[in-house]
Amino acid sequence: MNKIIYSILITCCSIVYANENPYPNRFEGIFEEYDGHRLDLIAKFIPENPVILEAGCHYGYDTIHFIEKWPDSKIYSFEPNPHSFGIFLENTRDYSNVTAFPIALSNFNGFGLFYICYGSNGDNPVFEGASSLLEPSEEMKIHYQGPRILVPCHILDDLCKTINLDHIDFMWLDMEGMELQVLSSSPNILKTVKVIYTETNFIKFRIGMTQYGDLKSYLESQGFVLLSHWYAQGFQGNAIFLKKELYPL
C-alpha cells in the first residue's frame, strides 16, 4: 500500500522526466486480461470453500471481497496495528467465517517494533496501510513518519500448530516487505498452499524489504510458478503464484 509514495515519486520525477511516467505499467505471465478480476482467476485453482490466510488485513475491505467471492470460505486474518484492527473487527463483525488475530506474522516468536506510517507529516492515519515491521530506509523516513509500537509476532508454522490449521488454499500477502521472511520461516504450511497473491517491490522502501527477484526465486524453489504479475516497472506490483502441479500449461 504505497500509493502515496508512488504519487510523491511521480511528482518529483516529473521534473526530470518532463511528465513522462518513470514507472510504466508492465505485465508478465499469462491471463493478463484478468487484471480487473483477479479473484476470478484465483478461483480457477482453489476449492469453492477455501481456507484463506490474509496477512495485512487492514480495514477488512479485501476480506469482504473474499467472503462475497467464497461465501463458504474460512478466513484467517492478521493485522498488528491496533487502530486498523479495531476498524477491521467493526467491518467484519457480521461474518462468522472470519477469525482475526491482532498479531504480526514474522520469522520469530515474541515482540517486535512496528513502524506505523502516518505520512510525511506523521499525523494522518489514512496512510497506515503502509505500516510495517521493517524500519524505513534513510531516504524514505520522511514519508513514513509515525509512532513505533511493540506488537506480538509469530512464526506462521508455529501458530498453525497452535490453532490446528493443517492447510491453506490461498494466501493473500500485503505485508510491506515481510513476505520472504514469513514464507521462508514456515516451510511446512507453505507446502499445502495452492495460490499466493502478494505485493511485489522493486525498491527498498524499508530496510530488509523483500525484493521481487528474491521472492520469485524462493517460491520457484518451493514448487511454485509465476501465473500473472501486474506491476509498475522499477516500483511495485502484485503477483499471483501457483503451485506447479496446478499450472495450466
What is the average pLDDT across 155-177?
Answer: 98
pTM of the model: 0.92
Which CATH number covers residue 79? 3.40.50.150
Q: What is the pLDDT of the chain when averaged over all its residues? A: 92
Q: Into how many domains does the chain fold? A: 1
Crossing angle, helix 61-69 and helix 82-91, to 10 degrees? Answer: 30
Instruction: For residue 40, give its domain range.
Output: 3-246
Mean pLDDT for the stretch of residues 181-203: 98
Does the pLDDT at position 231 exceed 90?
A: yes
Using DSSP, how many helices (H) and how many strands (E) does the chain show? 8, 11
End-to-end CA gap in the chain:
32
28-42 mean pLDDT: 96
What does the pLDDT average to over 107-133? 95
Task: Give the per-residue pLDDT at 194.
Answer: 98
pLDDT above 70 as % of the chain = 91
Q: DSSP for 49-69, please give it.
A: S-EEEEE--TTSHHHHHHHHH
Percent of the chain with pLDDT over 90: 89
Q: Are 1 and 174 in contact (CB under 8 A)?
A: yes
What pLDDT score was predicted for residue 249? 60
**pLDDT confidence band for 16 (50 / 70 / 90):** very low
Span 236-248, pLDDT tens digits: 999 999 999 998 6
